[in-house]
Amino acid sequence: MTAVTIQCCPPLIRGPLSEQDAVDLAALLKAVADPVRLRLLSMIGSHEGGEACVCDLTDAFDLTAPTISHHLKVLRTAGLIDGERRGTWVYYRVIPETVARLSAIFTPMADSVRQA
Amino acid sequence: MTAVTIQCCPPLIRGPLSEQDAVDLAALLKAVADPVRLRLLSMIGSHEGGEACVCDLTDAFDLTAPTISHHLKVLRTAGLIDGERRGTWVYYRVIPETVARLSAIFTPMADSVRQA
DNA sequence: GTATTACTTAGACAGTCTTCTAACCAAGGT
DNA sequence: ACCTTGGTTAGAAGACTGTCTAAGTAATAC
């Protein structure tokens, strides 16, 4: 009755997500479920040297500095980026491990939905 | 100056996300950035036959039927699932193409952050 | 020290989201 | 025809979010 796909380890398909896992993953997803934060993450990750100064980030948006700071804090709290002050400026970089968690949620699911 | 990774096509790393892309992806992410909707998607996707009846889904939560219906609508509007009535019951199934879009956002990023 | 620039924190306000109850449509069984 | 079960729609209440202004801290320049 229950046919199983050969492909390995689909997180969402393998079995119903536990309530706790769902809460954890949803919190992580919520951190990136915003256009500004997505672009911030993208700008930091794609910046040369793997890090970007807050001053560069702020200039790229039609938003005030406190708003950008708020979004950076959300990303930081979620463990997606880490910031460090060096002299006058604060530099942020992506934490790949956390992005990997995001990446792992859906990746195997796309083409391995169970068949009857 | 700008070292580039050999790995192909990292969506968020390749270059800064356009404003429009960010808005689109954020809308998709927002649809799954909720514990209940994540579990719903997981339950539908992992259910035998690749589809699940709303009645099964509703019973699995301590939430009222209208609330589940609302969450299903959000997933449906985002293009992540599709529903069909067959006789008495309504069955939902995952739309793999849309899940693939989600999967494509972060997958290559995890271990390909630019180096200096 | 004072001023200036870079960034964060605190508080307020408008908009959005999650949930509920109540009411409605759809299909089947008597 | 009626009732029951399954599911959606409509509207409302409370919590949460994104944005701002105002005020605070940190580091450099004079």
**CATH code for the domain in which residue B74 is found:** 1.10.10.10
Q: Does B95 touch chain A (CB under 8 A)?
A: no
Residue with tokens 């997500």: A17
CB pair distance less than 8 Å for B22 and A42: yes
Is the residue at A92 inside a domain?
Answer: yes
The sign of the CA dihedral B5, A7, A111, B41 is negative
Taking the Cβ of residue A45 and every Cβ of chain B, the question of whether any pair is shorter than 8 Å is answered with yes
Domain that holds residue A66: 19-106
Residue A113: what are its φ and ψ, rounded to 5°? -70, 135
Is the ipTM beyond the 0.90 threshold? no
pLDDT at B5 over 60: no
Q: Is the residue at A11 inside a domain? A: no
Task: Please say if the pLDDT value at position A116 is more than 50.
Answer: no
Q: What is the pLDDT of residue A47?
A: 93
Shortest distance, CA B91 to any CA of chain A (angstroms)? 14
Q: Is residue A3 in a domain?
A: no
B41 to chain A, any CB pair closer than 8 A? The answer is yes
Give, for B51, the enclosing helix (H) or strand (E): strand B51-53
Whether the per-residue pLDDT at B8 is higher than 80: the answer is no
Total domain count for chain B? 1
Is A38–B16 a contact, with Cβ atoms under 8 angstroms apart? no
